[in-house]
A and B are shown apart, each in its own frame.
Chain A
Amino acid sequence: MSVINNKKIKISYFPGCTLKTTAKNLEISAIESAKKLGIEMVELSKWNCCGVVASLTSDDLMKHLAPVRNLIRVQEMQKNKLVDEGENRLLTLCSMCFNTLKLSNKRIHENNEDLISLNNFMYLEEDYEGEVEVIHFFELIKEIGFEKVKEQAKTTLKDLKIAPYYGCMLLRPKEVGLDDAESPNIMENFIESIGGTAIEWEAKSRCCGSYHTVNNKHIVINLAKSIIENARKNGAETIITTCPLCAFNLDSRQKDIIEEFPDFVPMPIFYFSQLMALALGVEEKYFGFDDNYIDPKKILEEKGLLSN
């Protein structure tokens, strides 16, 4: 194993509200997997809401306060030596947090006047210096090398046909996307690193319906159904995601899909981190399978990946 591959990383980590409530399974499995890869995710002290959904109008500077406050927390983490020296990055797991924080950071970075206004407004805080970089867990894995994940894997998810679901927030808009907006491959590479088979499918970045799940759930039912059916048509046995809202729409909403379309055949949905934890030999209690709606164990047992 190369020297670089053995490097330990200690990095600021932003969980966000949902990872502490309905998506605990995403967080716990990711943290434990990260440990196996030499990554210590240090939770940001005093973090607040990421801002949820980037504000898009030109006169909405105040809506960027919440995200920027979090970025100041990262500066503090550095100053208090709670993370690696010079580590100015903020690690995210939730796609929505990733997108919101990164878009705000970008706006502030490009408009010095906005940075000054926000800093002036938050006079009780230390100034944000504009040097924090927001990254997603996938980018960190890519950096340490998919090869390393492969080397560390205890179980290979051979034969499991996985549809990588990017959704919107990892890829769009282009200036914050972590890969090519129209032909990404980072999740495919990830799937291969844990020994799974990534399927090629059209709906990989089709919107799941997002927050319409709250007051217009039939939109989500239609979209989620079309996404799952597209995955199945292309041979997938499961879909992986990194967004708690996508996960809810694709997983929990299958209950509503079945109510409306009794012939619908359910499909288990995983967080990417759950399968990574399985591959890396993390203890089963950290998989968090109990929080998944469609039984995730069945397919794994069928494939002999999980003993029943």
Chain B
Amino acid sequence: MPKKLKFDYKGSEFLDKIVKLSGEIITLCDQCGTCSAGCPFVEEMDITPSQIMRKVLIGDMEVMDSQTMWICASCFTCTVRCPRKLDVSKVSEALRQVKLRQAVDKMDISDISAEEAKRLPVIGLVSSFRKLTG
């Protein structure tokens, strides 16, 4: 059953916070779906990138439970295609940061097997720590 969403100040505050953190004026989003259609990761996501934009715009904080922002790897495909020149990857980063700054990490170094750790390039390890841990 769809839950009713109340439009209250908390939702607006959330939007304002993400706008400030990302530097992107999310209210400009036209919901054309270009970002979702071009996203190479979209099949791994639970909601699409354009949904992320929409949910933030309407102040639906359930967006924080979505996996989409963690799947986004800042490949900037959406960035170069958005007809409104919005940078969805910056919005994803902002959402990740909201979580990470609450000291909730998305990965744990101990999950990486010794064999993998030996194989993996430094650049991969460092970038995953940079994106997925606080």
Whether A and B touch (Cβ < 8 Å) is answered with yes
Which A positions have Cβ atoms within 8 angstroms of B?
Answer: 16-18, 21-23, 49, 52-60, 94, 96, 168, 171-174, 181-182, 205-207, 209-216, 219, 222-223, 244-245, 248, 252
User: Which among B23, B80, B94, B120 has the greatest number of chain A C-beta atoms within 10 A?
Assistant: B80
In the complex, which residues of chain A have a beta carbon less than 8 angstroms from the beta carbon of B128? 211-212, 214-215
Closest 6 CB pairs of A and B: A172-B76, A207-B75, A56-B93, A211-B128, A214-B128, A211-B127
B61 contacts chain A at the CB level, 8 A cutoff = no
Of the residues A52, A59, A60, A168, contact of B126 by C-beta under 8 Å: A52
Q: Is the CB of A52 within 8 A of B80?
A: no
Total A-B residue contacts, Cβ distance less than 8 Å: 123
Q: List 27 A-B contacts (CB under 8 A).
A: A17-B123, A22-B120, A49-B126, A52-B123, A52-B130, A53-B127, A56-B22, A56-B87, A56-B90, A96-B127, A168-B77, A172-B77, A172-B80, A174-B79, A207-B40, A207-B41, A210-B75, A211-B128, A212-B71, A212-B128, A213-B124, A214-B116, A215-B112, A215-B128, A222-B43, A245-B121, A252-B119
7 A-B pairs besides A171-B80, A211-B132, A245-B124 with CB distance below 8 A are A18-B121, A22-B121, A56-B87, A57-B90, A168-B77, A211-B73, A215-B132
B20 contacts chain A at the CB level, 8 A cutoff = yes
The CA of A213 and the CA of B128, in the complex, are separated in Å by 9
Of the residues B79, B93, B124, contact of A211 by C-beta under 8 Å: B124
Type the 1/0 row for B3-25, where 1 means its CB is closer than 8 Å to any CB of A.
Answer: 00000000000000000111100
Interface SS of chain A: helix, strand, loop or mixed? loop
B89 contacts chain A at the CB level, 8 A cutoff = yes
Q: Is the CB of A173 within 8 A of B76?
A: yes
Look across to chain B and name the residue whose beta carbon is closest to the beta carbon of A95.
Answer: B123
B111 contacts chain A at the CB level, 8 A cutoff = yes
Which B positions have Cβ atoms within 8 angstroms of A?
Answer: 20-23, 40-41, 43-44, 71, 73-77, 79-80, 87, 89-90, 93-94, 97, 107, 111-112, 116, 119-128, 130-132
Q: Is the CB of B73 within 8 A of A212?
A: yes
The CA of A181 and the CA of B76, in the complex, are separated in Å by 10
User: Which among B22, B23, B97, B124 has the greatest number of chain A C-beta atoms within 10 A?
Assistant: B124
In the complex, which residues of chain A have a beta carbon less than 8 angstroms from the beta carbon of B87? 56, 173
Q: Is the CB of B74 within 8 A of A58?
A: no
Q: Is the CB of A59 within 8 A of B73?
A: no
Look across to chain A and name the residue whose beta carbon is closest to the beta carbon of B94.
Answer: A57
Q: Is the CB of A52 within 8 A of B127?
A: yes
Of the residues B41, B44, B123, B131, contact of A96 by C-beta under 8 Å: B123
Of the residues B80, B94, B112, contact of A181 by C-beta under 8 Å: B80
The CA of A223 and the CA of B119, in the complex, are separated in Å by 19
Look across to chain B and name the residue whose beta carbon is closest to the beta carbon of A219.
Answer: B44
Look across to chain A and name the residue whose beta carbon is closest to the beta carbon of B38.
Answer: A206
B105 to chain A, nearest CB (A): 11
A66 to chain B, nearest CB (A): 11
B56 to chain A, nearest CB (A): 14
A208 to chain B, nearest CB (A): 9
The CA of A215 and the CA of B132, in the complex, are separated in Å by 10
Known: A56-B74, A59-B21. A248 touches B124 (CB 8 A): yes
In the complex, which residues of chain B have a beta carbon less than 8 angstroms from the beta carbon of A16? 123
The CA of A251 and the CA of B44, in the complex, are separated in Å by 22
Q: Is the CB of A53 within 8 A of B80?
A: no
B107 to chain A, nearest CB (A): 5
In the complex, which residues of chain B have a beta carbon less than 8 angstroms from the beta carbon of A57? 21-23, 90, 93-94, 97
The CA of A21 and the CA of B122, in the complex, are separated in Å by 8
User: Which among A53, A60, A244, A245 has the greatest number of chain B C-beta atoms within 10 A?
Assistant: A53
Of the residues A55, A182, A214, A223, contact of B40 by C-beta under 8 Å: A223
In the complex, which residues of chain B have a beta carbon less than 8 angstroms from the beta carbon of A56? 22, 74, 87, 89-90, 93-94
In the complex, which residues of chain B have a beta carbon less than 8 angstroms from the beta carbon of A58? 20-23
